[in-house]
Chain A
Amino acid sequence: MRFMLLQNYGPVGSDCAPMTEWSPEDVKAHIDFQHALNQELLNRGELVDAQGLAGPDQAKFVVSDGVGAPVVTDGPFPESKELLAGYRLVDVETLDRALEIAAQASAAPGQNGAPIRDSIEVRQVLGAPDPEL
């Protein structure tokens, strides 16, 4: 089963300051944690992909009717906190395992090393049809 674990820019459970206001040591600890988690998922044969996305300031929204020139909207956006920050795509045996990984990711170290308690959205990726039996 494949799951997308999605992370938004929204407020985090720990209410800590944005990362740009952390000490360099805290930032490094956070990044190291992400790398270590990805390595752990790879070693377990579960990692499909993990990516961080460029900041919301660089986001663009495109709308088109397929005929005229598309309308491209640049940031900044008032709703930028709802934008996607990054994702992990994992291939696991059960939903419980996906939730366990999400919990691990949510508890990443934040400011002063306290768990950041980010809210991770867990979504199953539509797979191949089940056996016909």
Chain B
Amino acid sequence: VSEAATGRPGGPGTEARLRRLAPQVLGAVARRYGDFAAAEDAVQEALLAAATAWPADGPPDNPLGWLVRVASRRMADRYRSEEARRRREDLAASWSLAPPDPAPGRDDSLILMFLCCHPALTPASAIPLTLRAVGGLTTREIAAAFLVPEATMAQRISRAKAKLAATGAHFTLPSGEERPERLRSVLHVLYLLFNEGYATSSGPDLARSDLSGEAIRLTRALRAALPDDPEVAGLLALMVLTEARRPARTGPGGELVPLAEQDRSRWSRPLIAEGVALITDALQRGRMGEYQAQAAIAAVHDQARRYEETNWPQIVALYGRLERMTGNPMVTLNRAVAVAMVDGPSAGLELLAGLEDRLGDHHRLHAVRAHLLEQSGDPKSAITEFKAAAERATNRRERDYLTLQAARLI
């Protein structure tokens, strides 16, 4: 990790250590001052200072204490100025009324995740804020991953914090009744963060692929804080089981390789083993949630040595359960693909018939219909559908893939 990439001097060892310490430092400073937004800025500055000082002078005996001290000094500087005093008065109403949290330390990452993934924020604001406040990434790294200028990303993060302050959210764990909804929001943000990185893994999009690694790291931290929650385990399982396929998912030119054609010897066995163990354990804990269902589907795919050996009836059953849980038409679309594998393409096409109203003119619907038409021996209609799908695709790789499919059949 170079300075140019992170915006922080210091080697990869210091970098990883600072990222780990970031939520603990922020927890301590936010608790002491009751001002999350300002504390978050001060901690960013302290991390930058550490990245310069530690490689030069050697790391301090108490790295956490060092960072808390430097960040607190920044907070004190801030409060000394006239503007900051006014700011403190404004913020007092929303932040300072929070009672001091009795259990500092271990739960800080968890509290921060609940805060940064607050349902009042859109995922587009929650994701960068989480990456900075909980993940310890620099603004420059986050900006590079999302391909926007650093100044734009800095503004996006500070607006997210302002919005958070306006909701009156406190630096405490959400109460019991509020908790399930807040946890859903955290899982959703981590899931989207993972997809953001997983979608792109080579070429000009390389910087973005780190995002799925960050999503896995943050979800591991969440699981460490909530080891008994089956949906947290389900999400982590889904991520590692999906990540396991990454090396086979794109060709040498960055083109998409569909599941059926992937070289399965390139899948990561250790990640598959970890994911299967996680989901097996989670499923024994009671009611299946949607991340567990998705992870279970991923596990079935990952355990098939060859595409032809996939246990399609099990996948059909799992998509059926997921469909009942979510009512998401995209799930129905995937179920149609699995049904076609079990009962033939016409059974799959029948399922698609009712989807147009719910999915609209989505490129995925055309793409699946094209595949099923091709399987049913109707290449002419398949070409029309592949073309329709390519015209509607909103990403380059999928469009390239679909155009190629149409051309292949002509």
List residues of A whose CB falls within 8 A of some B CB.
42-49, 91, 93, 124, 126-133
Known contacts A45-B156, A93-B122, A133-B331; A128 and B200 CB within 8 A of each other: yes
Q: Please name the residue on chain B nearest to A46 by beta carbon.
A: B152
For the complex of A and B, the 10 pairs showing the least CB-CB separation, nearest first, are A45-B156, A128-B199, A131-B195, A45-B155, A126-B396, A129-B199, A128-B200, A129-B395, A127-B395, A126-B395
Beta-carbon contact of A43 and B149 below 8 Å: no
- Once bound together, how far apart are the Cα atoms of A49 and B395, in whole Å? 20
Query: Is B4 on the interface with A (CB-CB < 8 A)?
Result: no
- Once bound together, how far apart are the Cα atoms of A128 and B199, in whole Å? 6
Which residues B31-87 have CB closer than 8 A to chain A? Answer: none
Query: Is B256 on the interface with A (CB-CB < 8 A)?
Result: yes
Chain A residues closer than 8 Å to B307, beta-carbon distance: none
Give the Cβ gap from A128 to chain B, nearest Cβ, in Å: 4
Give the Cβ gap from B151 to chain A, nearest Cβ, in Å: 6
Beta-carbon contact of A48 and B149 below 8 Å: yes
Give the Cβ gap from B157 to chain A, nearest Cβ, in Å: 8
The one of A43, A44, A124 in contact with B394, judged by C-beta atoms closer than 8 angstroms, is A124
- Once bound together, how far apart are the Cα atoms of A91 and B153, in whole Å? 11
Chain B residues closer than 8 Å to A91, beta-carbon distance: 146, 148, 152
Interface size class of B (residues with CB under 8 A): 35 or more
Chain A residues closer than 8 Å to B125, beta-carbon distance: 45
Give the Cβ gap from B104 to chain A, nearest Cβ, in Å: 31
Which residues B390-410 have CB closer than 8 A to chain A? Answer: 393-399
Beta-carbon contact of A48 and B152 below 8 Å: yes
Query: Is B109 on the interface with A (CB-CB < 8 A)?
Result: no
The one of A44, A124, A128 in contact with B155, judged by C-beta atoms closer than 8 angstroms, is A44
Interface residues as binary, B140-168 with A (CB distance below 8 Å gives 1, 0 otherwise): 00000011110111011101000000000
Beta-carbon contact of A93 and B149 below 8 Å: no
- Once bound together, how far apart are the Cα atoms of A69 and B216, in whole Å? 52
Beta-carbon contact of A126 and B148 below 8 Å: no
Q: Which of B155, B157, B159, B192 has the most CB of A within 10 A?
A: B155
Query: Is B263 on the interface with A (CB-CB < 8 A)?
Result: no
Give the Cβ gap from B146 to chain A, nearest Cβ, in Å: 7
Known contacts A47-B149, A91-B146, A132-B242; A127 and B394 CB within 8 A of each other: yes
Beta-carbon contact of B159 and A45 below 8 Å: yes
Query: Is B330 on the interface with A (CB-CB < 8 A)?
Result: yes
Chain A residues closer than 8 Å to B172, beta-carbon distance: none
Which residues B111-152 have CB closer than 8 A to chain A? Answer: 122, 124-125, 146-149, 151-152
A selection of 8 A-B contacts at a CB cut-off of 8 Å is A44-B159, A93-B124, A127-B395, A128-B200, A128-B205, A128-B395, A129-B200, A133-B330
The one of A42, A93, A127, A133 in contact with B294, judged by C-beta atoms closer than 8 angstroms, is A133
Beta-carbon contact of A130 and B155 below 8 Å: no
Q: Which of B124, B152, B195, B399 has the most CB of A within 10 A?
A: B152
Query: Is B208 on the interface with A (CB-CB < 8 A)?
Result: yes
Give the Cβ gap from A101 to chain B, nearest Cβ, in Å: 14
Known contacts A42-B155, A124-B394; A129 and B256 CB within 8 A of each other: yes
